[in-house]
Amino acid sequence: MKTVFLLGFLLFYQSWAFEFIIDGEWESEMSDPLDHHHDSGRYRRNVLTSGEEEEDFVAIQGNDITVKSYKVESKITSRFAHTKVKSSVVNSGLQAQSIGFNVQIPKRAFINNFTMNVNGITFVGSVKEKTVARNLYAQARARGKAAGIVRTNSQAMETFRTEVHVPAGSKVEFELHYQELMQRKLGIYQHTLHIQPGRLVPLLQVDVYIFEPKGIKFVTAPNTLGKQFEDLTTITHTKEKAHIVFKPNLQQQRKCENCTESAVDGVFTVTYDVERETNAGELQVSDGHFVQFFAPSDLTPLSKNIVFVIDVSGSMWGLKMKQTVEAMKAILDDLSIDDYFSIIDFNHNVRCWSEDLVQASSIQVDEAKKYIQNIKPNGGTNINEALLRAIQMLIKASHHGLIDPRSVSMIILVSDGDPTVGEIKLSTIQKNVKLRMKEEFSLFSLGIGFDVDFDFLERIAMDNRGIAQRIYANQNAAEQLKTFYSQVSSPLLRTITIHFPENTVNNVTQNRFDKFFSGSELIVAGKLQPSDLTTLQSFITASAANMDLNIQAEADIQALDTVLSRHQHSYNDFARQMWGYITVNQLLAERSLARTASRKRKITQRIVALAVEHQFVTPLTAMLVESNEEGRPERLIADSPKDSKHGCCSATGSLSGQMPVQRLVYQNPPWILPTPGPTFVAEAVGSQESIIPVHITGVDSDPHFIINLPKSNMDICFNIDSKPGHILNLISDPGTGVTVNGQLIGSKMLKNNKLNTYFGTISIYSKTDGVQVIVGTDRIDLMESKNNHSFSWGATAELTLNRIKVTILKEQHVTVLIDGRISVMVLLHRVWKKHPVQVDFLGIYMSNNNKYSTQVHGLVGQFAKEPEVKVYDVHEGADPKKKEATMEVKGNKLAVTRGWQKDYRRDRKRGSDIYCWFVHNNGKGFVDGNYTNYILPQLDSFLIAL
């Protein structure tokens, strides 16, 4: 009995031929798929063009066959997805026949296993260097060739295709595995599975398991399969885990009652996002690897300088132009008044709507819209000159000081064809652009349709810190353009670097990013160096609209593995595979930009080694599928054409700008944060020391004031009893322009018939700098004119806004230092969330060395100018433990009691005692005027003269 097994699968830009032979009898009439691909570009285009029309896709092909089961299972752990597609099929006909098993997989996924069981013989896949795989395959191949069929039917997917020729009655089980990194776009991760069994299946099941250690913010499974499947998907969801199941029975699969056709024919979608502490990074360590995620959100976007470069050659005529105009109108409307822009439209000539960048005022935007509206496409394509003009425009604006050094400058190129006029050699255009572009400019290129050399657009974008995106020339092209734009319209950070302390990690993936766009995510992975460390630290530095920020993240080296080991449905190899996935994609991108053959060869070797180690089918590796039968080596190969350009950049699709040169540079952080513990930064000006001064002036608990009087060597205390909501002024210094106010909150319940009040919010405002820092118990806001940035207590961070430096020590305290002269520390008191009475509150401590002006006042500030204080007639009081005395101050004679207050800087739980003379009645007589004079309307108000 001789049987031929024939397999082929084909991906978007290349085909992967899968063939193997068991005692050849059956002859293929198809030709070698590899032959197709020798005729390069033109052929590829034809394929892709036909791809724009929907084709029927059937997962299991064959005539008289019975599909017993079709199961898809994805395990997504920390954004890394491992998907298994499994099906069991019987040839129930009377003849031998070919059974096809086809899977649509996301373009950016790597296939990493394929197994097949045919009548009890198991074939297992292993990834090998391509020529190795081919040679092994050739050795086993008896005769005959087989081919996969070229097909592609979707924008983001490609098709894996196999075909097996089996005798009647045979049972075949297929199982395909692929892996991908979930990409966050516009604030969500979207996981899509194509479920198109093409027939009724007794056991049809989709399971998606999500595990996110920081917690899942939301998870939905929007029904994208059709109305009849409404409510058939169930989601079980705890804080860190979610399980999504779709399991329609035979009846539910039917197109109509008694029909034999299946209505299950489409995309199953799961979307989710993870919980994040405000602007903190998330560092995870597992199995000797680490992954750093960073996706800040509460930051004011940077302003933009954009030159739109639009192809208006003849080929754009018609729908393409109409949709480009529609998209451009929406995009222009979205510009903010702080943005600058211009439009260049080009065919064989290059025209500018405005020779210079102009502010995006509503008048200018309207003008630009009218201009776009009236463009009549015709003529050739002079990309080179158009791009050089755009660069010139940005350079000119930058020379004239028009460009804010913190803004983001970009060129957005929209084109639908290869250059035909002027410089037409692609490599020369690439060189010209690279030569003139400045480090701080980026180029994004959008290719409409398939007449454009997308590889060129990708290379030129990647070379200049941008990405390329293909726009499918169909009904929703305008939508695609707008979606792309919305991904890059909100840059939040520039020049982001993620460092690790020396000797803790190696093999770090790209750790410098040019930009961070709102709604996306930066990911850095690497390996841990062997050491006896129990925690790993990372340091993120970046610049935002008006501020430089440094954030520290930390992870226990063991904790996550302990958690994972208890989980049944997590993908526990995620960190290792994610590192491999990112590294291979980066190397593929580097390889496509490599300028010398030897460099390219070196990179190729590294890719192959890694792809084999991690079992990824890449353009440089192939999967050999072999039976485990002793003495009957049966082989099959998954292959791709030699010159395949497996989307170098779209695979990882880093919006953030590749910076390959510095990819592996990491060093000690340029800044050292205070080590956790009770510290008080910036004692004297210029002092680098972090020390706790013994003497302190501060307010803590239900506001208990401690005023240190250094000349008298005495501490005086008083309480203020006020109402929740009241804002009390602590420091008001018109001379330096600094005001510090605290707003009261009440505890949850009366205690001894009295509602205790505490500071719930502290505001430190420097009028000179226009900067206000508002410290609350849940977050810390930094505001400067229209900019508003939020941070959490959950991460140690250092933020610099001109003369103001804000240091957050994770869950402990915030120190605000103004011009190195005035330092205020706010201490966080956290209580048990369900505490019946207590609420979280803040304490505030100020250095006695603060350099206020002579005009300083406020409940605390007035004592900067130390009053003369005399205490005498010390005697036993009603309470034998508390002595009493008379105090003379500011011309008043006050009865005072010896007591103590707590200083919580060293020990935030118990505090340390500070002995002081206590002034009764809200500090009456000690404090100027009546305490009610210190109640202010706003957190940034100054005190009006008493």
Encoded tokens for 747: 């505890």
Closer of 242 and 636 to ligand NAG (Cβ): 636
User: Rounded to 5 degrees, what angle do the CA atoms 322, 324, 327 make?
Assistant: 110
User: Please, what is the minimum distance in Å from the beta carbon of residue 407 to ligand NAG?
Assistant: 21
Tokens 């005035």 locate to 822
Residue 719, phi then psi, degrees to nearest 5? -110, 155
CB 815 within 8 A of CB 713: no
DSSP per-residue string spanning 839-906: --EEEEEE-TT----TT-BSTTGGGGSPPPEEEEEEEE-SSTTSEEEEEEETTEEEEEEEEEEEE-SS
Closer of 324 and 509 to ligand NAG (Cβ): 509
288 CB burial (10 A radius; 0-12, 13-18, 19+): middle
Closer of 265 and 626 to ligand NAG (Cβ): 626
Encoded tokens for 5: 């097994």
What Cα–Cα distance (Å) separates residue 498 from each residue in 277, 536, 672, 767? 18, 13, 14, 33
Closer of 599 and 906 to ligand NAG (Cβ): 599
Closer of 298 and 819 to ligand NAG (Cβ): 298
Residues in CB range of 471: below 8 A, 6 or more apart: 414, 446, 447, 448, 449, 477, 480, 481, 484
CB 272 within 8 A of CB 242: yes
The H or E element that residue 249 is part of is none
Closer of 541 and 615 to ligand NAG (Cβ): 615
User: Please, what is the minimum distance in Å from the beta carbon of residue 115 to ligand NAG?
Assistant: 4
User: Please, what is the minimum distance in Å from the beta carbon of residue 93 to ligand NAG?
Assistant: 26
Q: How many Å from the N-terminal Cα to the C-terminal Cα in the chain?
A: 107
CB 180 within 8 A of CB 109: yes
Closer of 107 and 254 to ligand NAG (Cβ): 254
Give the relative orientation of helices 454-462 and 426-436 as an angle to the nearest 10 degrees.
Answer: 20
User: Please, what is the minimum distance in Å from the beta carbon of residue 298 to ligand NAG?
Assistant: 4
User: Please, what is the minimum distance in Å from the beta carbon of residue 624 to ligand NAG?
Assistant: 12
Distance CA 439, CA 435 (A): 10
Closer of 133 and 310 to ligand NAG (Cβ): 133
Closer of 178 and 759 to ligand NAG (Cβ): 178
User: Rounded to 5 degrees, what angle do the CA atoms 650, 655, 660 make?
Assistant: 80
User: Please, what is the minimum distance in Å from the beta carbon of residue 782 to ligand NAG?
Assistant: 9
The H or E element that residue 179 is part of is strand 171-181
User: Please, what is the minimum distance in Å from the beta carbon of residue 84 to ligand NAG?
Assistant: 8
User: Please, what is the minimum distance in Å from the beta carbon of residue 33 to ligand NAG?
Assistant: 24
Closer of 381 and 504 to ligand NAG (Cβ): 504
What Cα–Cα distance (Å) separates residue 713 from each residue in 202, 696, 865? 87, 12, 14
User: Please, what is the minimum distance in Å from the beta carbon of residue 374 to ligand NAG?
Assistant: 41
CB burial string 308-347: b at 16+ within 10 A, e below: bbbbbbbbbeeebbebbbbbbbebbeebeebbbbbbbbbb
Residues that bind ligand NAG (CB under 6 A): 113, 115, 124, 257-258, 298, 506-507, 615, 781, 783, 788, 790, 921, 924, 930, 932
CB 636 within 8 A of CB 18: yes
Closer of 174 and 246 to ligand NAG (Cβ): 174
User: Please, what is the minimum distance in Å from the beta carbon of residue 73 to ligand NAG?
Assistant: 12
Would you say the C-alpha torsion 35, 37, 42, 44 has a positive or negative sign? Answer: positive
User: Please, what is the minimum distance in Å from the beta carbon of residue 607 to ligand NAG?
Assistant: 11
User: Please, what is the minimum distance in Å from the beta carbon of residue 98 to ligand NAG?
Assistant: 23
Residues in CB range of 605: below 8 A, 6 or more apart: none
User: Please, what is the minimum distance in Å from the beta carbon of residue 79 to ligand NAG?
Assistant: 20
User: Please, what is the minimum distance in Å from the beta carbon of residue 934 to ligand NAG?
Assistant: 11
Closer of 166 and 720 to ligand NAG (Cβ): 720
What region does 677 belong to: left with phi over 0, alpha with psi -120 to 50, or beta? Answer: left
Closer of 176 and 564 to ligand NAG (Cβ): 176
Residue 391, phi then psi, degrees to nearest 5? -65, -45
- In terms of Cα–Cα distance, which of 794, 788, 775 is closest to 276? 794
Closer of 258 and 260 to ligand NAG (Cβ): 258
User: Please, what is the minimum distance in Å from the beta carbon of residue 603 to ligand NAG?
Assistant: 11
Closer of 75 and 145 to ligand NAG (Cβ): 75
Beta strand pairing status for 340-346 and 304-311?
Answer: parallel
Encoded tokens for 262: 């299946």
What Cα–Cα distance (Å) separates residue 92 from each residue in 62, 85, 99, 254? 10, 22, 11, 21
Closer of 384 and 490 to ligand NAG (Cβ): 490
Torsion of CA 692, 696, 702, 704, to 10 degrees: 160
Closer of 269 and 615 to ligand NAG (Cβ): 615
Residue 839, phi then psi, degrees to nearest 5? -120, 160
Encoded tokens for 657: 């700008």
Residues in CB range of 328: below 8 A, 6 or more apart: 308, 310, 343, 369, 372, 481
CB 282 within 8 A of CB 292: yes
Closer of 28 and 761 to ligand NAG (Cβ): 761
Query: Quick one: three-class SS letters along 393-419?
Result: HHHHHHHCCCCCCCCEEEEEEEECCCC
User: Please, what is the minimum distance in Å from the beta carbon of residue 251 to ligand NAG?
Assistant: 11
Tokens 């205070």 locate to 674
User: Please, what is the minimum distance in Å from the beta carbon of residue 96 to ligand NAG?
Assistant: 26
Distance CA 481, CA 632 (A): 54
User: Please, what is the minimum distance in Å from the beta carbon of residue 112 to ligand NAG?
Assistant: 7
